[in-house]
Amino acid sequence: MPSFDSNLFPLWLVQLLCALFLAITFLQSGLDKVIDWKGNLGWLTGHFSKSPLRGVVPLLLATLTVLELASGAVSAAGAVFLVLSGGGRVAMWGAALSGLSFVALFFGQRMAKDYAGAAGLVPYFLVSLVGLLTMRG
């Protein structure tokens, strides 16, 4: 961690805040899918009932759950590494996985023709891109 009066402190703080934001977002979302699998599956089955993805909802939910948990865990580990060593490589990979997760979610929303839901993901995706672009290895 750079000192507070260092020119690098604002960059480090952006990295840390992005990593924390992504960790919270995806750990909460992934754990919710694990804890309430049945509820999520029921809702998503209805959400995708008129889309080409209707026959593979359980597989997509499982895949997304693993991707979200990985995104959250790697982002959380990245935040710890940023605090302890200042290194951003792990946080960079968390941001990359998070970006991939948002693209998967965006794809699903577009396939379900939930355009408002897809648009709502854009600010979150931008956070992952800011994190990715600011991380140092």
Residue 4 domain flag: no
What type of residue is 91? A
Split at pLDDT 50, 70, 90, the class of 15 is very high
Mean pLDDT calculated for residue range 64-91 = 96
Residue 2 domain flag: no
Least confident of 2-6, 17-21, 22-26, 71-75: 2-6
- How far apart CA 102 and CA 73 sit, in angstroms, is 15
pLDDT on residue 2: 82
| Residue 102: exposure state from Cβ atoms within 10 A (0-12, 13-18, ≥19) | buried
Residue 33 domain flag: yes
The percent helix, strand, coil of the chain (3-state, each to 5) is: 80, 0, 20
Q: Is the pTM of this model over 0.85?
A: yes
Domain holding 90, by residue range, is 9-134
Residue 1 domain flag: no
- The residue written with tokens 């690098």 in the block is 8
3-state secondary structure of 8: coil
| Total count of domains within the chain | 1
Residue 121 domain flag: yes
Task: Pull the structure tokens for residue 45.
Answer: 């089955």
3-state secondary structure of 20: helix
Residue 81 domain flag: yes
Split at pLDDT 50, 70, 90, the class of 137 is low
Q: How far is CA 49 from CA 33, 54, 85, 106, in A?
A: 19, 5, 48, 17
Q: Which residue has the higher pLDDT, 135 or 69?
A: 69
Residue 108 domain flag: yes
